Amino acid sequence: MNKVILRAQREELPDQGAAPPLVLDVDGVVLRTDLLHETAIAFLKANPFRIFLLLYWLLTGRAQLKRRLAQRAAINVDLLPLNEELVAFAQSAHDQGRVVVLATAADRLLAERLARRLGFIDVVIASDGETNLKGAAKADALVERFPDGFAYIGDSASDLHVWKRAEAIGIVGAGRSTQAAALALGKNVELTIARPAFGLKGWAKALRLHQWAKNVLVFAPLVLGGLIMESDAWLSAGLAFLALGVLASATYLLNDLWDLEDDRRHWTKRNRPLASGRMTIAQAASVIPVGIAGSLLIGALLGLEVVAVLAIYLTLTLGYSLHFKRKPVLDAFLLATLFTLRLVLGIVAVGVAPSPWLLVFSMFLFTSLSFAKRQTEVLRYAERTPDLTSKLAGRGYFIGDAPFILAMGVASGMASILIMVLYLTQDALHVDIYANAQWLWGIPPALFLWLSRIWMIGQRGELLDDPVVFAMKDPKSLALCGMVAASFLMALSGVPF
């Protein structure tokens, strides 16, 4: 068993007096995450095909798997989310002269790095590549190291082996059944910290249900195709909307898994459920395949063409999340493509003829908005790091790229307005679904005003990270959206121009 004494390898630990050594578990206790899961994600992030090597290591034993990952997966221990309440308790105990110990099934290489980050750990006892220090094995190691007794703080059912042999216990973030079993041991309880409830609100944030508003584009082909009074078309578009929403939520989780370390460096994304540790990696990993499968099953109700569009969306999203989001310009183009695929999905779901003008307009419009999002990130980052050669974490842009992003974004936005005018003159004004199509001319001015507003406030540093989400909350943007809707409805109704 590998036991490492910190504090410059002293000959003796401090006199602990009447208080037994305070022994802390790591995963879910000191940290609001799991080191094995963190290292596995980091290892796969470099190359997803490493999954086969990961499975091979697992066959050699969990201790060997943890050692291999600790050696080869690059994670920044200093960014991992801490259980601040527990850390404060342990720091106070240390300040009072009590011996504080990390005893974890995580590999010793990572445990020692965490101990150095905390600064108050006296002893580290951890897995060593041969023995997986969990459950009964951890209990034996602690009894051997501290025969006069110890207090143990844990969180899982496997910790019951240790609690049974501890002089005192602490319970952090345990489930109801585990906590009840621990309390039934009749030990002295030094500390109880409940895991913050995740709940429906937490799931809604993790799945980014507010982003489903973007999927309203699925209904655009139905409306523009003259099927607004067809109930079957609305049902088909509704199912397509649901399928795309479920798929998008699953891919958002995958993206957050892949971006854990980058998000923890970000001024707002560090508060996301996965980055902050309020949602576990295991929870996300279990939901992702269910969401993808569920989406494709819903799509199958509408036909193979819908499934094909969903599969293309999934493929591009995976490519974006795993690689292309770090490629400047291409990342904005792919985001615009994903938005345009929402229109394609609506076209396929309700069976209307596609309009090339509409699809090209969508590409330029959402390319502009994608650049606006990147511009906001660059400007916000520049406030913290003025060096023009500094690069955004997880992105392909440098601080000095801001003028280029501005030019590309504004140019794309103005091009979308031109294409909208061409769409009206070459297509929309000549279809028979409008009683007075001249009202459609109210749309280009509203679009010009809105894009101008987005880029102006973006340059002022007042734009949120996502311009689409911003527009959903901004009164002036909503007013301009109302102007577009009014123009369209008056064109349908035939109100004299």
Q: List, as one string, the DSSP characters of 389-445.
A: T-B-TTSS-BGGGHHHHHHHHHHHHHHHHHHHHHHHHHTGGGSTT-S-GGGGGGHHH
Check if the beta carbon of residue 240 is closer than 8 Å to that of residue 345.
yes
Task: Report DSSP letters for 188-226, one per residue.
Answer: EEEEEEPPPP-HHHHHHHHTTGGGGGGGGGGGHHHHHTT
- The candidate with the shortest Cα–Cα distance to 262, out of 272, 252, 251, is 272
Residue 201 counted as domain residue: no
Same domain, residue pair 339 and 363: no
pLDDT at 459: 86
Residue 199 counted as domain residue: no
Report the 10 Å Cβ neighbour count for 338. Answer: 19
φ, ψ of residue 202 to 5 degrees: the values are -65, -40
Residue 220 counted as domain residue: yes
Residue 198 counted as domain residue: no
Domain containing residue 497: 355-497
pLDDT tens across 235-251, in order? 999 999 999 999 999 99
Distance CA 466, CA 458 (A): 10
Residue 92 counted as domain residue: yes
pLDDT at 18: 62
Report the 10 Å Cβ neighbour count for 238. Answer: 14
Distance CA 192, CA 348 (A): 55
pLDDT at 7: 39
Distance CA 141, CA 147 (A): 10
DSSP strand pairing (151-154 vs 22-24): parallel
Same domain, residue pair 137 and 221: no
**Residue type at position 102:** L
Residue 269 counted as domain residue: yes
Same domain, residue pair 35 and 105: yes
Q: Residues near 412 by Cβ (< 8 Å), separated by ≥ 6?
A: 364, 365, 367, 368, 371
Q: What is the CATH number of the domain that holds 18?
A: 3.40.50.1000
Same domain, residue pair 272 and 410: no
Same domain, residue pair 167 and 215: no
pLDDT at 2: 40
Half-sphere exposure of 372 (CA within 13 A, CB side): 32
Q: What is the CATH number of the domain that holds 254?
A: 1.10.357.140
Domain boundary among 319, 353, 387: 353
Domain boundary among 193, 219, 237: 193
pLDDT at 106: 94
Check if the beta carbon of residue 244 is closer than 8 Å to that of residue 218.
yes
Domain boundary among 193, 221, 237: 193
Same domain, residue pair 287 and 349: yes
Same domain, residue pair 311 and 366: no
Same domain, residue pair 155 and 141: yes
Distance CA 298, CA 291 (A): 11
pLDDT tens per residue across all 497 residues of the chain: 344 434 333 335 555 456 899 999 999 999 999 999 999 999 998 888 899 999 999 999 999 999 999 999 989 999 999 999 999 999 999 999 999 999 999 999 999 999 999 999 999 999 998 999 999 999 999 999 999 999 999 999 999 999 999 999 999 999 899 999 999 999 999 999 988 888 888 899 999 998 898 899 999 898 887 788 888 999 999 999 999 999 999 999 999 998 898 889 877 788 899 999 999 999 999 999 999 999 999 999 999 999 999 999 999 999 988 888 888 999 999 999 999 999 999 999 999 888 888 899 999 999 999 999 898 888 888 877 777 777 777 778 888 888 999 999 999 999 999 999 998 888 777 777 777 888 889 999 999 999 999 999 888 877 866 787 788 888 998 999 999 889 888 888 866 76
Chain position carrying tokens 């309440």: 85
SS3 127: strand
DSSP strand pairing (151-154 vs 168-172): parallel
pLDDT at 333: 94
Same domain, residue pair 369 and 312: no
Residue 202 counted as domain residue: no
Same domain, residue pair 332 and 415: no
Q: Structurally, how many domains does the chain consist of?
A: 3
Residue 146 counted as domain residue: yes
Same domain, residue pair 307 and 422: no
Same domain, residue pair 340 and 363: no
